[in-house]
């Protein structure tokens, strides 16, 4: 996230360099087309991230971004930064208003206010006109989200991506009917008037409210389809026991592993639903409940085997570690989301250890050799598909141009298309 005019200038300069590099890479003649394309894709990804950050900063400064009524404490640090920028205040302005040094505000924002006590957070919130709240659903059960509403009439239904929802045939639009009313009816039927609160970690790529409503619409679709599967008797009874996960990991060795995984999950009482992300949501996966049945939603935003298995295991981490422990959250995730979050770190570790136990990972020579042959040898030794190792190496090194032919490009969506209602 961009915090100041100075950072915006630096980001703009970096953006220009990346665009120049993209032009050079695009014009370059290469015998290795896949390597050239990987470089181009990596540059485009970096450009998109910086463009999104600059756009967010510009929108906030211009006052074009509207905010939901209340925020949970989990999301408050980011909201405070957004509110400061949107109000036209610099870090120095806020410091003067609070009687503090500008350096302290800079440190607070750079660390997501991790060093601030509750009293200080309340003080900053009041100075910026931000209201923070928490809602509770009984002893030991709390719900906190990006936004909460007291009733359905408090929702800005016109901000739902109803045109895209109609395009995807989530509901029909009879001639002369009001699409806003129809999207409200669809949402309340699919999710219920007291919609589950949403907790997610993800880097914001556009204005706050449009992303929130895209997430809500997507979740309503996931819940609708999951409920249909449960009602049809396609899902077994769930037990909070993850000892069978080794069976799931073994399925990575099969060409139709993702399809087999969906069937095994259903047998174990977990619904897997695949639905493309809606524009502006930048979502990879989510974990939620329909009654006592866990539901994992995936977008397959990146149609690769390594991404599929990691995101699936990450969401299963939420299922086994968090969904039933009283948090009362639904979890929405973008792979590689920025910032540290203890709950997400637990789900990441769950996924990494389930796919490759830490002691075996330490023995993998492919981490250093970075060759196709080394990856294949390690994969055979561990008993998993090479895409799992290749994907982890790429992620840990932050280099998505290596081992490109091992990560299983375009091998997932075709298998799960039947369960996802027209992915293409």
pLDDT band for position 410 (50/70/90)?
Answer: very high
DSSP secondary structure letter of residue 219: H
Share of the chain above pLDDT 90, in %: 38
pLDDT higher for 223 or 203?
223
Residue-wise pLDDT tens digits, 204-246: 322 333 367 788 888 889 988 998 999 999 999 999 999 999 9
Q: CA-to-CA distance for 329 and 75, rounded, in angstroms?
A: 13
Q: CA-to-CA distance for 308 and 105, rounded, in angstroms?
A: 40
pLDDT higher for 124 or 331?
124
Give the DSSP H/E element, type plus range, for residue 127: helix 118-128
pLDDT higher than threshold 90 for residue 290:
no
> Parallel, antiparallel, or unpaired: how do β-strands 285-290 and 330-333 relate?
antiparallel
Give the DSSP H/E element, type plus range, for residue 135: strand 135-136
Cα separations in angstroms, 12 against 15, 49, 81, 180: 5, 12, 20, 38
End-to-end CA distance of the chain: 32
Angle, helices 305-321/342-355, rounded to nearest 10 degrees: 120
pLDDT for res 130: 74
Strand partners, 207: none
Q: CA-to-CA distance for 188 and 180, rounded, in angstroms?
A: 12
Residue-wise pLDDT tens digits, 84-130: 887 888 999 999 988 889 998 998 888 888 777 767 777 888 888 77
pLDDT band for position 150 (50/70/90)?
Answer: very low
pLDDT band for position 272 (50/70/90)?
Answer: very high
The answer to which of 106-115, 146-155, 325-334, 369-378 has the lowest mean pLDDT is: 146-155
In 3D, which of 151, 157, 154, 189 has the Cα closest to residue 171? 189
Residue-wise pLDDT tens digits, 30-63: 888 888 888 898 898 889 888 878 877 776 676 5
């Amino acid at each position: 996230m961009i915090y100041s005019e100075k950072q915006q200038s630096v980001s703009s300069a970096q953006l220009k360099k990346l665009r120049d590099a993209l032009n050079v890479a695009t014009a370059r003649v290469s015998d290795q087309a896949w390597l050239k394309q990987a470089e181009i894709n990596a540059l485009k990804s970096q450009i998109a991230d910086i463009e999104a950050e600059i756009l967010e900063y510009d929108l906030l400064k211009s006052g074009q971004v509207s905010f939901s009524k209340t925020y949970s404490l989990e999301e408050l640090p980011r909201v405070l930064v957004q509110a400061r920028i949107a109000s036209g205040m610099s870090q120095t302005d806020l410091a003067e208003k609070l009687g503090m040094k500008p350096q302290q505000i800079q440190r607070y924002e750079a660390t997501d206010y991790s060093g601030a006590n509750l009293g200080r957070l309340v003080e900053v919130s009041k100075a910026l006109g931000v209201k923070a709240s928490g809602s509770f659903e009984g002893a030991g059960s709390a719900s906190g989200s990006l936004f909460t509403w007291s009733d359905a009439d408090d929702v800005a239904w016109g901000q739902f991506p109803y045109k895209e929802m109609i395009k995807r045939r989530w509901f029909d639009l009879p001639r002369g009917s009001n699409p806003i009313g129809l999207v409200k009816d669809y949402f309340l039927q699919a999710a219920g008037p007291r919609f589950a609160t949403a907790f997610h970690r993800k880097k914001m790529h556009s204005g706050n409210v449009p992303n929130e409503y895209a997430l809500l619409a997507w979740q309503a679709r996931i819940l609708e389809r999951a409920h249909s599967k449960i009602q049809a008797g396609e899902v077994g009874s769930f037990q909070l026991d993850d000892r069978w996960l080794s069976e799931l990991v073994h399925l990575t060795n099969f060409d139709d592993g993702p399809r087999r995984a969906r069937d095994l999950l259903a047998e174990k009482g977990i619904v897997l639903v695949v639905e493309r992300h809606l524009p502006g949501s930048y979502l990879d996966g989510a974990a939620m409940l329909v009654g006592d049945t866990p539901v994992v939603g995936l977008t397959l935003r990146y149609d690769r085997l390594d991404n599929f298995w990691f995101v699936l295991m990450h969401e299963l981490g939420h299922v086994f570690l968090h969904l039933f422990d009283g948090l009362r959250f639904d979890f929405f995730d973008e792979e590689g989301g920025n910032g540290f979050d203890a709950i997400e770190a637990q789900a990441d570790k769950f996924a990494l250890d389930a796919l490759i136990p830490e002691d075996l990972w330490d023995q993998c020579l492919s981490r250093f050799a970075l060759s196709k042959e080394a990856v294949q040898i390690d994969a055979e030794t561990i008993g998993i598909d090479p895409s799992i190792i290749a994907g982890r190496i790429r992620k840990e090194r932050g280099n998505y141009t290596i081992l490109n032919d091992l990560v299983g490009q375009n091998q997932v969506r075709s298998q799960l298309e039947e369960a996802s209602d027209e992915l293409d």
